Amino acid sequence: MIRVLIVDDSATARHSLREILESSPRVEVVGLAADAYIARDMIVELKPDVICLDVEMPRMDGVTFLQKLMLHYPTPVVMVSSLTRSSAKVTLDALEAGAVDYVAKPHSHIYDGKEEIREELIQKVINASYARVQKKIPQTRSKMNVMSLAETTHKVIAIGSSTGGTEALKVVLGGLPKNAPAVLVVQHMPQSFLESFASRLNQMCAVDVKVASNGEFIQTGTVYIAQGGKHMVLRRSGANYFIEIGLGQKVSGHCPSVDVLFNSVSKVAGSNAIGVILTGMGSDGAKGLKHMHESGAKTIAQSEESCVVFGMPKEAIKCGAVDKVVPLSEISQEIVNLLKSE
């Protein structure tokens, strides 16, 4: 049984979340707390496996509480927030502070919208129970002279990530030099969070980071993040690569899907590509990375000890898709080494 503590200032929300979670035979709600101070005492007493934490609360907001929690009593946390522009920023703050994942409250009254989030909430709490709660990894930048990489438009880097990926991507992308080849990224994330997420990465990285647009030709030194709810694939027109984005059914349980991106890269770029699979629950990306590997691409998986959740890299390793398993802090340098060896 996964023992869960729910922290939310709304009594209706607390009881609705409890009802949702206890509909799963794998979950037991061991406590309900109306604010951070009550939660603090209950955590020490009850020692929950996972905490469901509201973002906006009186006396102490969820992010501040999370920062204190991760310092003194690290515990897997799933944030519960509404999908607004302001809450997207706060939720990203929470992921930066150490939250494992987040669930969006329905736009309707939570009691009326329980069925909208039931499956997602239960699954993310189960996923969080497996998470490896770690201290924040320092952000790094490449210390290489950017001229040490020859500028090229025929190379491309494809990256897939999920649970824990928002922070992992900061480390990987933050370590790439300004003239790195174009990077295509699928991170499982709602569309409403993407602009804020891309903006944060753009401010801290030497490369430019943006949300991908349909039909745009990719450029050296630019990272393109897939839109939420749409698949992203790589296409070729003559000597140039471009991005195609469109609606489609979920693949490997997701849209956008890492498998869809990787499959397209294997067909279009072949041995001119580097594939990287980062932390995440499930198997999305494993088959696609195998196709990249078979087409001659170099492939990298994040090491187990540096993952929040080892699921996606584990499945890729298991199916023989991976050339090298690398700790998160060393992945960007490994990418650069592969590029220099060409």
Helix (H) or strand (E) holding 337: helix 331-341
Distance from the Cα of residue 234 to its chain's centroid:
21
Cα–Cα distance measured from residue 169 to residue 279, given in angstroms and rounded to the nearest whole number: 10
Angstrom distances, CA of residue 55 to CA of 89, 96, 150, 208? 11, 13, 45, 30
Instruction: Output the pLDDT for position 342.
Output: 67
User: Residue 131: what pLDDT?
Assistant: 94
Catalytic site residues?
162, 188, 284
Q: Render pLDDT for 61-103 as a digit per residue (tens, 0 to 9).
A: 889 999 999 988 999 999 987 755 566 788 889 999 999 999 8
| Residue 176 and residue 183 in contact, taking contact as beta carbons nearer than 8 Å | yes
The chain-wide mean pLDDT, for the chain, equals 90
Domain extent listing, the chain: 2-129, 146-341
Distance of CA 201 to the CA centre of its chain: 13
Q: Do domains 2-129 and 146-341 have the same CATH topology?
A: yes
- Assign domain 146-341 to its CATH superfamily: Methylesterase CheB, C-terminal domain (3.40.50.180)
Architecture of domain 2-129: 3-Layer(aba) Sandwich (3.40)
Measured from the Cβ of residue 196, the count of other Cβ atoms closer than 10 Å reads: 18
Q: Of the candidates 192, 331, 321, 340, which has an alpha carbon nearest to the alpha carbon of residue 262?
A: 321
pLDDT at 173 over 80: yes
